[in-house]
Amino acid sequence: MPGDEQRPADDGRCSGGQRLLVFARRLQGAVDFAGLTAFVADEVRDALGYDNAWLAVFTDDRLREVRVLTVTGPAEQDVWKHATVIPVEGDWMMEQIAQGDRVVVIEDALTDPRVNHDIVDQLRNRTIVNVPLRFIDRPLGAMGLGTFGDEGPRPPSEADLEHLIAMAAHVSVAAARIRFTEERTQAAAERLDLERRLAHRQRLESLGLLAGGVAHDFNNLLMVMRSTASIFEAEEGLSEQGRAGVAMLLDAVERARDLTRQLLALGRRQELRLAPLDLNARARKLATLLRRVVPGAIAIDVIEGPRLPLVSGDETQIDQILLNLCLNARDAMPRGGKLTIETRQVADGEYVGEQPWARPGRYVMLTVTDTGTGIAPELIDRVFEPFFTTKSEGQGSGLGLAIVYGVVRQHEGMVHCFSEPGVGTTFEVYLPVLEPEVG
């Protein structure tokens, strides 16, 4: 038999039980499928004299596909190129593996009509041995070995098969353990990500509440200042200088009141005047206004979503957040570019599915996209924070996006930012659809 000369002397296998024990102990050290296959490959080479070994697992519970996870041996490159996922249906060998109760031996794939020749001819398989892997009552996949191309066919002996079946029992346990650990690690990573996002949101909300709370008290003090100043203003015998001083005072109070109004929006302390709003109409109106104030090098595009449902919103505030987003976009494009305002209806459940805390229901999405400087990844989590600005003194207050956040949250919506430095930035605002009253 070709290849027989590479076979180790039988004494490599005669203490079979001992051998298996050593193998099983090794498998316990495998932390992933690559490591597991490496141990399997070592064992089939040392004990049985085959150079190629692989592991394949079913991708889903319904056993419709087999994914070749790892291949070790000279055929490795070819297998990755041609056959990483193999459909089960219509492939006799895969169907046998899916039944999961018997070792499948193809003595020579070159002449065997039962194999899938589309795959086998490309890989140049000769002998193929697949031993099913099972976990308790569930087929898991297969552990395989074989010969390719010029190696010629070399069917395993009865003793080889016996050893393989015993190996498969241990490999099944190790594979199930690895799969379980992988799934658990992935679940932990998802939970961590969720927690991080939740913590970020809580931080923003508490900052907003703090700023809004301070603004509320501050506003009361400003009222006192204003009324007192007004009393002086009405005084008869006030000197010219005194009059100018009072005017300055009143002006300062007015500006302070503007600022506190913005801060109130952060803390969602403003009263919303809700009415049915058409975001397309709001976007169109803002675009007209912007074209007058934005440099000509910035093109403005409005893409109106068809049949856009109404939202329930405070017109002044929705206009304000659109304006804040567009002014930021303008600032990000000092050398021109493109500003796009887009609306669309979000498919039912699409948004809520990704955002476990979102209110169930339908949403309208409003996006403002620019082709500007973008935001560095390490800053992106901070842009909604009150007073966070990268603009120079007098240029930015750092309140624009904090207000956007506060207003959107007060409307029971959500806002997300995506950005790539040098490419541009997109802000996505989700607002709940105004549903007709069911009467």
Closest to Mg ion by CB, 147 or 328 = 328
Task: Say whether residue 337 binds ligand ADP (CB under 6 A).
Answer: no
Residue with smaller CB distance to Mg ion, 400 or 406: 400
Q: Which stretch binds Mg ion (CB under 5 A): 275-283, 322-330, 335-343, 416-424?
A: 322-330
Q: Does 262 sit near Mg ion (CB under 5 A)?
A: no
391 touches ligand ADP by CB under 6 A? yes
Residue with Cβ nearer ligand ADP (37 or 260) = 260
The sign of the torsion formed by the CA atoms of 196, 198, 201, 202 equals negative
401 binds ligand ADP (CB under 6 A): yes
Residues for the chain: how many in total?
Answer: 439
Shorter beta-carbon distance to ligand ADP: residue 52 or 425: 425
91 is a contact residue toward ligand ADP (CB under 6 A): no
Give the separation between CA 427 and CA 439, rounded to whole angstroms: 36
Closest distance of CB 172 from Mg ion, Å: 59
From candidates 267, 309, 386, 400, binder to Mg ion by CB under 5 A:
400
Q: Which does 372 bind (CB under 5 to 8 A by kind): ligand ADP, Mg ion, none?
A: ligand ADP
Q: Which two tokens stand for residue 400?
A: 């624009």
CA 16 to chain centre: 49
Total of residues contacting ligand ADP (CB under 6 A): 22
Nearest-angstrom CA–CA distance, 392 and 331: 12
| Residue 141 touching Mg ion (CB under 5 A) | no
Query: Could you say whether residue 402 binds ligand ADP (CB under 6 A)?
Result: yes
Contacts to ligand ADP from residues 365-384, by CB under 6 A: 370, 372-375, 383
- Residue with nearest beta carbon to ligand ADP: 400
**Is residue 329 part of the contact set for ligand ADP (CB under 6 A)?**
yes
Distance in Å, CB of 29 to ligand ADP, minimum: 49
Here the tokens at position 244 are 């100018």
d(CA 14, CA 173): 24
What's the distance, Cα to Cα, between the start and end of the chain in Å? 84
- Give whichever of 341 and 402 is closer to ligand ADP, judged by the CB atom: 402
Q: Which residue has the tokens 């049985």?
A: 48
Closest distance to Mg ion from the beta carbon of 330 (Å):
9
CB of 419 to ligand ADP, least distance (A): 6
The site map against Mg ion for 324-343 (x = CB under 5 A) is: ----x---------------
| Two structure tokens written together for 197 | 């996002």
Contact range with ligand ADP by CB under 6 A, out of 87-95, 138-146, 267-275, 390-398: 390-398
Adjacency order of strands within the sheet including 298-303: 298-303, 337-346, 363-370, 424-432, 414-420
Q: Any contact of residue 388 with ligand ADP (CB under 6 A)?
A: yes
Q: Is residue 406 involved in binding ligand ADP (CB under 6 A)?
A: no
Closest CB 369 distance from ligand ADP, rounded Å? 9
- Please report, as ranges, the residues that interact with ligand ADP according to CB under 6 A: 324, 328-329, 332, 370, 372-375, 383, 388-391, 396-402, 425
- Please report, as ranges, the residues that interact with Mg ion according to CB under 5 A: 328, 400
